[in-house]
Amino acid sequence: MKKRPASLSASFPPADGASETPPTALEIARARSALLVRPGFLIRRLHQVHVALFVEETQAFNITPVQYSLMTALDERGDIDQVSLASDIGLERSGIAEVIPRLEARGLITRRPSATDGRVKLHRLTPKGRALVQRMSAAVNRAHERTVEQLPPKKREAFLLMLIQLVELNQPDGVAPFRNR
């Protein structure tokens, strides 16, 4: 018997009456495109979708998702050095080094030498930066909600828990470590 394409097999019983195992949802997705069963592709694509939603919701503030993450970490932690800050948001130190001057130039963060080690710079959110984080909160939350709103509420929670699990179980050695607190 000639096998029908997976997308059709799911809709129609076999013509000869023989029982045929229906394709799984993943098999149907794979028949549509090999990309649809590649976690890396899907994660990158969902990230693109989320960034577009973030920008749409927060365009009036002129802050990127990475800048907002950095500012949120500073809001939570207070004075913190660059290495710890990078670890708090899972970004390489060189990435942090590019973001900090932009935020500092806008008066959103400050840097000062550590009292215990002059080689270390401590970063702090300014009152202006703290106010911006608070003003952005509703817009950022809308972007996050919109990213997962197509899922039923219970599946949203399960999806987020699975993402947390994947992030925590796949910590790279030396490349942009993420501090789990």
What is the CATH topology of the domain spanning 38-169? Arc Repressor Mutant, subunit A (1.10.10)
Q: What's the pLDDT tens digit per position in 76-92?
A: 998 999 988 998 898 88
Q: Enumerate the CATH 1.10.10.10 domain ranges in the chain, comma separated.
A: 38-169
Please give the pLDDT value at position 52: 97
pLDDT band for position 4 (cuts 50, 70, 90): very low
Q: What's the pLDDT tens digit per position in 113-158?
A: 988 888 889 999 999 999 999 999 999 999 999 999 999 999 999 9
| Average pLDDT score over residue span 92-107 | 92
> With contact defined as beta carbons under 8 Å apart, do 97 and 123 qualify?
no
Whole-model pTM? Answer: 0.79
Cα radius of gyration rounded to whole Å, the chain: 23
Please give the pLDDT value at position 102: 95
| Average pLDDT score over residue span 5-15 | 49
Please give the pLDDT value at position 132: 98
Three-state SS annotation for the chain? CCCCCHHHHCCCCCCCCCCCCCCCHHHHHHHHCHHHHCHHHHHHHHHHHHHHHHHHHHHHHCCCHHHHHHHHHHHHHCCEEHHHHHHHHCCCHHHHHHHHHHHHHCCCEEEEECCCCCCCEEEEECHHHHHHHHHHHHHHHHHHHHHHCCCCHHHHHHHHHHHHHHHHHCCCCCCCCCCCC
Q: What's the pLDDT tens digit per position in 12-57?
A: 455 555 668 899 998 998 999 999 999 999 999 999 999 999 999 9
User: Residues 67, 156, 146, 88: what is their CA dihedral angle, to the nearest 10 degrees?
Assistant: 0
